[in-house]
Each structure stands twice: as structure tokens, then as C-alpha cells.
Amino acid sequence: MIQNPILRGFNPDASIIRVEDDYYIATSTFEWFPGVLIHHSKDLMNWKPLTRPLDRVSQLNLRGVPSSGGIWAPSLSYCDGTFYLCFTNVVGRKGVYKDLHNYIVTAPSIDGPWSEPIYLNSSGFDHFLFHDTDGRKYLFNMQWDFRKNKKRFAGIIMQEFCPNESKLIGEIMLITEGTDLGVTEGPMVYKKDGCYYLLVAEGGTGPMHAATLMRATSVGGPYEVDPDYPMITTRNTPDHPLQNAGHGSLVETQLGDWYMVFICSRPLPDGSKLSPLGRETSLQKVTWTPEGWLRLAAGGKQPQLHIPETELTPQPFDPDPIRDDFDERKLSVHWHTLRVPADESWLSLSERPSYLRLKGRESLTSLHHQSLVARRIQSFTCEIVTCVEYEPQAFTQMAGLVLYYDESDHYYLRISHDDQLGKHLAIVVSDQGQYDELDTYVPIPEGRVYLKAAMNFDQIQFFYGLDGQSWQPMGPTLYSGNLADSYQSKLSFTGAFVGLCAQDLRGTRLHADFDFFDYMELDA
């Protein structure tokens, strides 16, 4: 059986394609750099992160973007030997406005090189490039309307894209205003048996989320709605293990079967409905009815936690190593930095071989120049261990292990210096932007310090040690729900990360050397 989610942890807005016998999924990365994560599979069951195409500032400038801004809902497509990737960079998302810019990049191979971006429009997000069988190309995206007494989600629009001129041309057409489910977004377009099928996300990305199918005989419509919409949702099943199901993308296998990937969330079992792992990607088989509509192969509208294996030949990948010894010249594909690329001015794998050196910069609340490198938390039960050498001389210098949602909500086990305590460990908590230091300060000697975080569903416990063998608990048990996208009803879209960081608020860039990083999942 295939166990959902297939892409665990923060991996939302999946856009799937097949190129011959290879399957690729692109997912959103928001404020994390490099932009867009592309995953690879041969069998739809076994997946591995493959590449992150937006890897330079000339393609993607995230400095200063708000949390849960940046990359929204990328879409992959392939035509005549070229890969196309559409992406949105949301630079402002507060209030009634959405300041955003839509681009497209291309590559001859999924591994690149990916081109410089072509600007498309700024009218709305979630754009998708459809390649018609007559050679013409059309861009679809939702339209944002900020005006008083207007629907913010103002329908799906379409405009032709001319690759020779590298721009949109012709009339902008409103092709659907969606259904009574509202919040229509995430358009994906497919052509089958002479019909154009439009798959949209509706209801918002929370508990009312859904996916709805429409069709037309012309690419510009009019589009009729599936009479039994929505196609998938958990809006009426609040105890389902895969909540917030919607925002789908379709693929046909080389054997002629159809599958849909879609967003979902797995809440903590404490009844809070909070999902610190963020929005994940799951898979369902779908079948066509005689009337030409899609239905879940298992029946009903709710996704399955387990589905039968595909008929494709299983091709598993080697498991990722638990330990990163920082022996390579580049960071692995699992690592992300916050808003800015990793460069030798603040992150080095060569100044001290087999160590990750971070030079302290701005605070954990900065939207500009943080020295933070982190990876997704993908399991409710996991342990993270690192070893750091760091000798701060002032309270303005800090380094350590951070469990991070955003600048407002994080837990930080950090080494710093105090006038009375000298070098010491403490836990910093930011809860909805309220700074606190827990009343646990532990003086530590010069030299190496081992730091550990253990997550067990809703509980997080920090530990420290001086020899890497014996551990002392550090501070109280902390609540993992603080690292969820809907904590205190805030509207955010990412997931919990665990990472290494350093700050130097004096501006002297004192460095911290991390010897290794262990990430071990105890149960998926």
C-alpha cells in the first residue's frame, strides 16, 4: 500500500507532470531559499527531493518579503523538449492588497540550467501555463480584487502567451467565477477527448478546502461545473486523518491510469486541529465516468490514508543518511536558508573543512540578513542533534539550535554570554512575537557543546551535553502547536523547520562552527 502523505512535512501546492517514465512534483517554498522544491519518482510511491531551480537572486529576490510570502503555488509543465516553471513572488500580503509578481523560467532538463525569469503579470497568483495541441499557449491565474464590496477571489482569468515574444498577448478573458464554495484559485488545465478540463481549488486552504472540476469544448469556455462537485474535500469530516484536502493536480501514467496529488494536513492528536508539519502532499487514484467526469477511485469525496500501489514497477530510492557531516562542498537539497542565498560571506563549508561555519548577522526577527540554515520537520516524532563550537564574548552574540516557524513563533536553544554567568545556555521563546527567556540558565565551559531537540507529537524537549553521550534536559516541555500555520488563528502557509543559526548584533560576525547535524525520524 501507498501511505499518504507521499511528501511529508511542509510540501504544499503540488504540481505534477510525467515526462516519459519520470514523474516530477513542484511544491511551494514561500520565504525559504532556494525557491521551489522539485521531487522525483518512477512509481508515484517512492519520492526524493531532486532540485531547487530558483537558486540565484537574479531569478528570485526574497529579501524583505513577509513570512508566508515569496513563492506561492508553482506549476510545472513540459512541451517539445522544454520544461516550464511558473512561479509567483508575493512581496506584500497584508491588508486588502496583494503585491505579487508572476514569472516563468525554462530549462532543457529538469536539473537545469534554468533560465532567467520572464515577467508575466501581477493580477493574481496560482498561474498555470497550458500547452494546447495546436501549438498555442495560455496562461491561467486567479484574479485578486481589493475593492470594497467585491469578492477578493474574483475568478480565473486566461490570456495567451507568445513564446517568440516572451510575453502575454491578446485579450484577458474571465473564464469562471467559481462555485458557491468560494475562494476559487489554483487553476490546472488538461485536454482529453476534445474537452478542456479545468481543475480548481476552492474554499480556502483550511477546513473548507476542496477541489472542483469544470470542462469546456473551447479553451476559453464557457466552462460547466461537474454536477457532483467538489471532487475531493474533508470539509464535512472533521475527524478524518487527512484534513484540509484540496488544491489538486492530475497526471496520467504511461499505463493509462489517472492520479491526483493534493494538499492535506495532519493535525496533532490533542484535538487542537493544529498541524506543525504544515500542508503536505497526498495521492489518490481517480477514474473517468462514462459522462466524462473524474471521481475518486475508492468512491466518495474523502481521501484515503492508504491506497493500493500503482501498477508501475516499484523503484525505491536509498534512504537519506541521518547524519550530515558537512563534508560536501555544497549543502544538501534538504537545507534551506531564509530569504537569502547561502554564500561565503556568512556560511562556509570550506573555511574549516567538515564543519558548517555560520557568521552571526541579524536577529531571528529579521526579514533581511539572517544567518540561519534549516530543514523541514517531516515527522511528529523525531530527534535532532548537533555539536557546536562557539565562544561568545557579549550578550549580543548567540548561536545554537532553533525550531522555527517564523519570526513571531520559534523556540531557540542558544549559547550566549552574560556578565554574571559568562558563557551559558538558555532557551528563548517567541510566542506571537512576544519575546521571553525561560528561567533556565546553564553555565557551560569553553569548547564543544552538544545540543538536542526531541519532538513527540505535541511535546518538544531540549537537551544538552558536553560529551555527546550523556544528556541533561534543558527547560520545560514546550508545545509544538506553537509552530503550526494556524496557531492563534494566524493565516500562514508554511511548516515547522529545525535549523542552525548565529546572530551577532554587534555587527562583528563572530562565527559558530557546527560539526554535524543529525535528523532522525522515529515514526512517520
Spell out where 28-166 has E strands.
32-33, 37-41, 48-51, 70-79, 82-92, 99-107, 118-121, 128-131, 137-144, 153-162
Phi-psi region of 180 (alpha: psi -120 to 50; beta: other; left: phi over 0): alpha
Partners of 176 in the beta sheet? 156
How would you label 252-275 residue by residue, b for 16+ Cβ within 10 Å and e otherwise?
Answer: ebeeebbbbbbbbbbbbeeeebbb
Identify which of 446, 416, 450, 412 has the alpha carbon closest to the alpha carbon of residue 431.
412
What is d(CA 329, CA 349) in angstroms, rounded to the nearest whole number? Answer: 6
The whole-angstrom separation of Cα 227 and Cα 493 is 31
Residue 387 one-letter amino acid: C
Report the C-alpha gap between 73 and 31 in whole angstroms: 13
The dihedral sign for the CA sequence 44, 46, 50, 53: positive
The single residue of 13, 43, 280, 383 carrying the catalytic annotation is 13
The overall longest dimension of the chain from CA atoms, in Å, is 77
Give the torsion sign (CA, 181, 184, 189, 191).
positive
Closest CA to 413 of 403, 382, 448: 403
Q: Which of 31, 160, 185, 383 is catalytic?
A: 185
Q: For cell 526574497, what's the residue?
A: 62
B/e letters for 215-242, b = 16+ CB within 10 Å, e = fewer, are bbeebebebebbeebbbbbbbeeeebbb
- Please say if 13 is a catalytic residue: yes
The grid coordinates of residue 379 equal 515527522
d(CA 369, CA 340): 7
Grid cell at residue 203: 474554499
- H-run or E-run covering 388: strand 381-389
Q: 469: which residues sit within 8 A by CB, 6+ positions away?
A: none
Q: Is 480 helix (H, G, I), strand (E, B) or coil?
A: helix
Report the amino acid identity of residue 441.
Answer: Y
Distance separating alpha carbons of residues 75 and 90, to the nearest angstrom? 15
| Residues annotated as catalytic (active site), given as ranges | 13, 185
